[in-house]
Amino acid sequence: MAVKVSDIMKKRMAFSFEVFPPKTDAGMDKLVGKGGVLDKLNTLHPDYISCTYGAGGGNVGKNLEVLDAVKAGGVAVPITHFTCIGNTKEGIKTQLQTYLDHGINHILALRGDLPFGWSGTGGDLHYATELVKFIRDEFGDKFTIAVAGSPEGHITCRSLEADISFLKQKQDEGADYIMTQLCWDMDQFRYWRDAIAAAGITIPVDVGIMPVLDSKATINMALSRNGCVIPRKLAEIISKNWIFDSPFAPTEAEESANAKKASFKEAGIEYTIGLIDEYRVAGIDGIHLYALNQFDDVARIVKESGIKDILD
């Protein structure tokens, strides 16, 4: 019987990684080559590994190559992210069939971010709700479907209530579980968790966690698209290790910038582990770590947080 990760989450907390399709051949080799990052991540026995998808399908080939490698590893269930913007129903159907032909039957069904200046999705489907319905209509139960949930509300939602009602609609159309947008604000997460339960959302919640390893990437992830709250504790780590232009200080010398990067990473790893503790106590169904195509720091977080009992 084929594994459904939503079934795993109904029994115990799942644990998974997210990777992205590298842009270069060297990056690809580092990720999927023999002894590469995927092989190493597999030594931590994740339940699944998901691979992101360039909105509009810019990197479909590499996305599939990465997922083929996850499948070939024989450890983790491969899950593709998939966006419907800029695509026709026929195009979506063909692509989804290709995934099935490759043995990939788990999908994170997304709308995708609209590029700046677009007023619509430029395709046949307009929201993830429609994509979920389309997948169920065309493919029945062949796919396990995950959908995105935003504990702080999607950046363009007219209200958190509206956003939650659309999330309920995704469940009603046949979604199997929720993968969350990153959220460092635990009070907000607990509020959202209660609010979705009150709205009748019962499918498992798999929490997305970005390891805090690099200040630029952290600020970028929080503010470039998602408008995420940065709690005081994390803001302090960023401020204490500030390496960017500042009106009150000369440009950082390379040596001290490197020392600050190292100290940021140390504090960030500790922060990430604390966050995982808080999420586990909040009673979630899965931890989905953005592995950022890296192994060493991610493995350290997995081991030190005790997500998995790993024998060295």
CA distance 91 to 84: 9
Which CB atom, from 112 or from 286, has the smaller least distance to ligand FAD? Answer: 112
C-beta atoms surrounding 211 within 10 Å:
25
Q: Which is nearer to ligand FAD, 151 or 268 (CB)?
A: 151
CB of 312 to ligand FAD, least distance (A): 31
Instruction: Give strand pairing partners of 14.
Output: 286
Please give the DSSP secondary-structure letter assigned to residue 122.
Answer: S
Distance of CA 169 to CAs 18, 111, 182, 207, 281, Å? 25, 14, 21, 20, 28
List of residues contacting ligand FAD (CB under 6 A): 52-53, 55, 81, 83, 108, 110-113, 127-129, 148, 154, 156-157, 162-163, 166, 179, 181, 208
Residue number with CB closer to ligand FAD (82 or 264): 82
CB of 152 to ligand FAD, least distance (A): 11
User: Per the residue annotation, which of 18, 130, 152, 173 is the catalytic one?
Assistant: 18
Q: Which C-beta is closer to ligand FAD: that of 53 or that of 264?
A: 53
Rounded distance, CA 163 to CA 156, Å? 9
| Rg (alpha carbons) of the chain, rounded to whole number | 19
Nearest-approach distance from CB 33 to ligand FAD, in angstroms: 22
- Written as six digits, the tokens of 115 are 């590029």
Q: What are residue 80's DSSP bridge partners?
A: 51, 107
| Cβ atoms of residues 235 and 269 within 8 Å | no
CB of 149 to ligand FAD, least distance (A): 7
Please report how close the Cβ of residue 89 comes to ligand FAD at its closest, in angstroms: 16
Pull the structure tokens for residue 70. Answer: 């996850």
Three-class HEC string of 158-169? CCHHHHHHHHHH
Say whether 161 is catalytic. Answer: no
Nearer to ligand FAD, 113 or 270 (CB): 113
The catalytic site residues sit at 18
